[in-house]
Chain A
Amino acid sequence: MTTKNVHVKIDEMKTNTGLIKNLELSIGKVVDESWAEPMGPTPMPSLTTLRDWDMKLLNRYKPFYMPDCDLCCLCTYGKCDLTAGKRGACGLDIGAQSSRIVLLACSIGAATHTGHARHVVDHLIEKYGRRHPIDVGGLNVKVEAPVTRLVTGIRPETLGDLEDVLEYCEAQITHCLSAAHTGQEGNNLDFESKAFHAGMIDQVGMEVADIAQISTLNFPKADPEAPLIQMGIGTVDTSKPVIMCIGHNVVPSVGIIDYMKDSGLADKMEVVGLCCTAFDNTRYYDRAKIVGPISWQLRFVRGGFADVVVLDEQCVRTDMFNEAERVKAPVIAASEKNCMGFKDRTNDPADEIVADLVSGKVPGVLILDPDKVGEVAVKVAMQIAPIRKKMRVLPNINEIVELAKTCRQCNLCQRSCPQDLKIPAALKAASEGNIAPLTELYEECIGCGRCEEACPVKLQIHSFIVKAGERFMVEETNLCRAGRGAVQDVEIRNVGSPIVLGEIPGILAVVGCANYPHGGKDVYDICREFALRRYIVVTSGCSAMSAGSYKNEEGKTLYEEFPGSFEAGGVLNVGSCVANSHIAGAAIKVANIFAKRPLRGNYEEIADYIHNRVGAVGLAWGAYSQKAASIAAGFWRLGVPVLVGPHGSKYRRMLLGREDKPEDWEVYDARTGDKVNVGPAPEHLFQTVETPQEAMAAIAKLCIRPNDTWKGRSIKLSHYIDLHKRHYGTMPPDIHLFVRTMADVPMTMKDEITAILEAKGWKETVIPDPTLLPRMIRKKKE
């Protein structure tokens, strides 16, 4: 990095004048220019530095707005009705308002990951010191922080270096958020550009969080053979005390695992996790277990499995304190961002807190010292388990039958269900003694509990569904690869050429949350389809869990069936939400390590390279959160297309190309300066797909890039055509737009495609050295 703090810490020093204890001294910064790479044009970009790049993308991929609400309720001039062209009191119209909400969502997401990173870095510096080295993969990973290097121009070498990076992120998020204030920005595309900015910052924040924890907590370091972790409620030995950690921040869990091991209790209890904390727990301790994705919080707690519930941050059910109290499971809130209304007991003696929780004097406590969280959680679990005896609040089948008779068939449960599940019919059947229809809802239920909130006779409908599906729940015994973290530089060198030339047909990143339209099996099916086709399949977060939750005919999960390396046909789990940064990092490293494009503070050129050459596409089959929005936005700015499943339409804005407008698909040929039409490659930057079948065809198409060689294009077209024919029953209607020369045409389909090309009046074109940036043209036209 360019600057360094001089930091002196003295624990104890005797001098002639006295004793000095715990002295810390910072005396400014010293310039360190050991990094030979010159600074690029855009280190630490401001809100507008990359605006021109954003506008290039936004003019090609124009927003299609689908307002989720006709009103704006953000200031006291309002509510303002913005229906169909009306402007509000501030002058904003519904297009700008919709993009403003997108900016808010992305800013919240970026703030959440960056706040997470700040907490992790501050804690780890306190524990390991500012000079603790960054190490995410030993000698295999020289480019340790590709996103950070690209965006900020900083090469972080120590934990202390990450503080400078975070200061930049925090300032930018503040600016992004401020732009959403009434009377700031007014143009929808400017809001969009700022949403991209928030997304880019989000990637930096995520990277900082993950490389800090990888470097200090002995997580797998870019390890393709990271351990296989037990996953599913059926893997938990419920005869032992169980601590369940929910959220995303591993720090309190580390306190729990350390205390448990130090106390010799590792064989006497279970530590399990839900959502991303589960992943990071298992990266720290491979005997921790993953219960499942975010949507399984209610089923695990109501099922009585957890003796102590530890909440950190993000995606935690905010009524968890109520739910846990129903089964007499004490709650420990462990994050400043999620205090749950509990009294702060951080400074109280651990044994007093334990006594209060075990006796039921208080249902929960706030403890902000992770070591104390560990001690309290372990002691409470050991003491309360024999008392609780896995108390549960699931009704038995007979009770369900009786209670279902009180159902009024008012339909409010179904009308409140995000999945539109046919609950009234299932309850009617249950009232007649047939539980099977309720059981069928288990797989598709996303565990939100809205059905119960809507029910006028207060039926515990979610509990009914969980009980009816109990057999599936307790039989869930799967394996998931622990998050491996970054992609090695050597892996990038091996696959860089075939990716850029198109011979590896694409990189599919299956990421996001668990609000799938019809259960997690679709995630597994999509991942397996593309792994078998020798795409590189990368997973993270709740999707990585769903990908591992099903087995092939030989009884193997995806992570057993396919290698965990970044190679054709690999299925690799990078880890938790913050590990998504490694997916962006891999694309960036292709540009830098394989193509030797300068990285440092050189965002626009690298994004232009990725957009035109790296056939990567993200799929968030379930995506519910603001963090998912900001993660997507980070990929949009890099020019990487993102698909979302049906619920993702509620992000209310798509970024869609128009393949019927040839003028939108021109690039410069960097060799000559000529403008060349490259077709809709990739066609969209953000799109909702309705069915898994549509997703598969869209993924194959969105991996097509202008730079593909004829051989690569031919391979990509083979997959696109094959998937399209299989699922759509017909040839793609746009195939002529992707054929540049006859050499692009897959050999086995030559006659069929030639006839189409003739009918469409197709003309041969050239394969350019593609760029959207005039400054990248090497030879200017006269």
Chain B
Amino acid sequence: MSCEPWQCAEIAATKKANAITKPEVAVAMIKRAARPILVVGSNATERWMEGRQLIDYIIDFAKASKVPVVATAHMVGEFLKRGFEPAGFMSAMDIGNRLVDPTWQGLDGKGHPDLALFVGLPYYMEALILSGLKHFAPDLKTITLDNLYHPHATWSYPNGTLEEWASNLKVMTSKFEGGQ
């Protein structure tokens, strides 16, 4: 496990993501958040772990944690095919742009998110969006659930194997009531 940016040149200057050393740390932060959202990108159907697609792990996690899901690109269709309805869907750029707007009241119109989770976007796109949030959404905390270290997040898992990734997601899911 390494806390170096997955893509070598994706270097942060003075503000670098804290490492999530075990999934319970991420769970604690999610439970502490009042208005979390989970942004899921197009790699959700491209990444396979233990014979299942990433999207299947994410559905389990979202059902257990009750964190509203925002599907980017065309991923909403993939969620619907699996009988799961995301809270919203829009392009990755649009959700990033809304998150830097302090007046945006979230998908339900009830308040700005205080925690944004990201998973499954192309690495460099996710890195850029996390950079935008680091710079322009100072009150927002960000966590990436990918198995690749993202220096621009507030919290990130270190670079890990697919097995570790699957394990982390399963442990996280199990720590919520709905995941028991």
Residues of A within 8 A of B (CB): 62, 64-71, 81-85, 94-95, 412, 415-416, 418, 420, 454, 517, 646-647, 649-650, 652, 654, 656, 658, 660, 687-691, 693-694, 697-698, 727-730, 733
A420 lies within 8 A of B80 (CB): no
Which residues from A are CB-within-8-Å of B77? Answer: 727-730
The answer for the CA separation of A412 and B98 in the assembled complex, in Å, is 35
The answer for the CA separation of A646 and B128 in the assembled complex, in Å, is 11
B42 within 8 A of A: yes
For residues 1 through 51 of chain B, which have their beta carbon under 8 Å from a beta carbon of chain A? 6-9, 12-15, 41-42
A67 lies within 8 A of B91 (CB): no
The answer for the CA separation of A694 and B78 in the assembled complex, in Å, is 13
A690 lies within 8 A of B73 (CB): yes
User: Which residue of the partner chain B has the closest CB to A95?
Assistant: B136
Closest CB in chain B relative to A723 CB, distance in Å: 10
Partner of A687, one of B78, B89, B93: B93
User: Which residue of the partner chain B has the closest CB to A733?
Assistant: B89
Partner of A420, one of B78, B123, B134: B123
Partner of A70, one of B15, B41, B76: B15
Give the size range of B's interface with the partner: 35 or more
User: Which residue of the partner chain B has the closest CB to A647?
Assistant: B124
Partner of A658, one of B8, B9, B12, B97: B97
The answer for the CA separation of A378 and B101 in the assembled complex, in Å, is 61
B8 lies within 8 A of A454 (CB): yes
Closest CB in chain B relative to A761 CB, distance in Å: 14
A64 lies within 8 A of B93 (CB): yes
Please judge, given known A-B contacts A70-B15, A83-B15, A728-B74, whether A694 and B91 are in contact too, CB under 8 Å. Answer: yes
Which residues from A are CB-within-8-Å of B121? Answer: 690
A-B CB proximity, top 6 nearest? A729-B77, A70-B13, A66-B128, A693-B74, A66-B132, A690-B73
B96 within 8 A of A: yes
User: Which residue of the partner chain B has the closest CB to A63?
Assistant: B97
The answer for the CA separation of A453 and B87 in the assembled complex, in Å, is 44
B125 lies within 8 A of A690 (CB): yes
Q: List 25 A-B contacts (CB under 8 A).
A: A64-B96, A65-B132, A68-B131, A70-B14, A94-B136, A412-B8, A420-B122, A646-B124, A649-B93, A649-B124, A649-B125, A656-B93, A658-B101, A687-B93, A688-B125, A689-B73, A690-B73, A690-B122, A694-B72, A694-B74, A694-B91, A728-B89, A730-B76, A730-B77, A730-B80
Interface-centre pick from A62, A418, A660 (highest chain B CB count, 10 A):
A660
Please judge, given known A-B contacts A84-B135, A652-B128, A727-B77, whether A687 and B91 are in contact too, CB under 8 Å. Answer: yes
B74 lies within 8 A of A727 (CB): yes
Closest CB in chain A relative to B2 CB, distance in Å: 9
Which residues from A are CB-within-8-Å of B153? Answer: none
B41 lies within 8 A of A84 (CB): no
Please judge, given known A-B contacts A412-B8, A415-B7, whether A650 and B73 are in contact too, CB under 8 Å. Answer: no
B54 within 8 A of A: no
Partner of B72, one of A83, A652, A690: A690
The answer for the CA separation of A714 and B125 in the assembled complex, in Å, is 34
Which residues from A are CB-within-8-Å of B12? Answer: 70
The answer for the CA separation of A654 and B76 in the assembled complex, in Å, is 23
The answer for the CA separation of A730 and B89 in the assembled complex, in Å, is 11
Closest CB in chain B relative to A544 CB, distance in Å: 25
Partner of A415, one of B6, B92, B128: B6
A94 lies within 8 A of B8 (CB): no
Which residues from A are CB-within-8-Å of B15? Answer: 70, 83-84
The answer for the CA separation of A656 and B100 in the assembled complex, in Å, is 12
Interface-centre pick from A71, A85, A728 (highest chain B CB count, 10 A):
A728
Residues of B within 8 A of A (CB): 6-9, 12-15, 41-42, 72-74, 76-78, 80-81, 89, 91-94, 96-98, 100-101, 104, 121-125, 128-129, 131-132, 134-136, 138
Closest CB in chain A relative to B94 CB, distance in Å: 7
Closest CB in chain A relative to B156 CB, distance in Å: 15
A70-B13, A649-B93, A690-B72 given; 10 more Cβ-contact pairs under 8 Å: A66-B96, A67-B131, A415-B8, A416-B8, A649-B129, A650-B124, A660-B98, A690-B91, A690-B121, A729-B78
Which residues from A are CB-within-8-Å of B123? Answer: 420
The answer for the CA separation of A739 and B136 in the assembled complex, in Å, is 34
Partner of A94, one of B92, B122, B129, B135: B135
The answer for the CA separation of A62 and B94 in the assembled complex, in Å, is 12
A690 lies within 8 A of B42 (CB): yes
Closest CB in chain A relative to B17 CB, distance in Å: 13
User: Which residue of the partner chain A has the closest CB to B2?
Assistant: A411
Interface-centre pick from A66, A69, A94, A728 (highest chain B CB count, 10 A):
A66
Which residues from B are CB-within-8-Å of A650? Answer: 124, 128
The answer for the CA separation of A68 and B135 in the assembled complex, in Å, is 11
Which residues from B are CB-within-8-Å of A412? Answer: 8
The answer for the CA separation of A691 and B40 in the assembled complex, in Å, is 13
The answer for the CA separation of A310 and B103 in the assembled complex, in Å, is 56
B74 lies within 8 A of A67 (CB): no
The answer for the CA separation of A418 and B128 in the assembled complex, in Å, is 14
A656 lies within 8 A of B74 (CB): no
B42 lies within 8 A of A66 (CB): no
The answer for the CA separation of A412 and B94 in the assembled complex, in Å, is 32
A729 lies within 8 A of B13 (CB): no
B135 lies within 8 A of A688 (CB): no
Closest CB in chain A relative to B122 CB, distance in Å: 5
Closest CB in chain A relative to B80 CB, distance in Å: 5
A66 lies within 8 A of B91 (CB): no
The answer for the CA separation of A85 and B104 in the assembled complex, in Å, is 20
Which residues from B are CB-within-8-Å of A656? Answer: 93-94, 97
B135 lies within 8 A of A646 (CB): no
User: Which residue of the partner chain B has the closest CB to A85?
Assistant: B138
Which residues from B are CB-within-8-Å of A647? Answer: 124
Partner of B100, one of A64, A68, A649: A64
B134 lies within 8 A of A83 (CB): yes
User: Which residue of the partner chain B has the closest CB to A517?
Assistant: B122
Closest CB in chain A relative to B111 CB, distance in Å: 15
Closest CB in chain A relative to B44 CB, distance in Å: 11
The answer for the CA separation of A95 and B122 in the assembled complex, in Å, is 24
Which residues from A are CB-within-8-Å of B122? Answer: 420, 517, 646, 690
Which residues from A are CB-within-8-Å of B8? Answer: 412, 415-416, 454
A83 lies within 8 A of B13 (CB): yes
Which residues from A are CB-within-8-Å of B78? Answer: 729
A728 lies within 8 A of B13 (CB): no
Partner of A65, one of B98, B104, B136: B136
The answer for the CA separation of A399 and B159 in the assembled complex, in Å, is 32
Which residues from A are CB-within-8-Å of B92? Answer: 688, 690
Which residues from B are CB-within-8-Å of A727? Answer: 74, 77
Please judge, given known A-B contacts A64-B132, A656-B93, whether A81 and B74 are in contact too, CB under 8 Å. Answer: no
Please judge, given known A-B contacts A66-B128, A418-B124, whether A84 and B138 are in contact too, CB under 8 Å. Answer: yes
B128 lies within 8 A of A649 (CB): yes
A728 lies within 8 A of B76 (CB): yes
The answer for the CA separation of A733 and B90 in the assembled complex, in Å, is 10
User: Which residue of the partner chain B has the closest CB to A734?
Assistant: B90
User: Which residue of the partner chain A has the closest CB to B126?
Assistant: A649
Which residues from B are CB-within-8-Å of A694? Answer: 42, 72-74, 91
A68 lies within 8 A of B14 (CB): no
User: Which residue of the partner chain B has the closest CB to A693?
Assistant: B74
Interface-centre pick from B12, B98, B104, B124 (highest chain A CB count, 10 A):
B124
Partner of B81, one of A62, A83, A729: A729
Which residues from B are CB-within-8-Å of A62? Answer: 97
Which residues from A are CB-within-8-Å of B100? Answer: 64
Interface-centre pick from A68, A646, A690, A697 (highest chain B CB count, 10 A):
A690
The answer for the CA separation of A691 and B12 in the assembled complex, in Å, is 27
The answer for the CA separation of A658 and B138 in the assembled complex, in Å, is 21
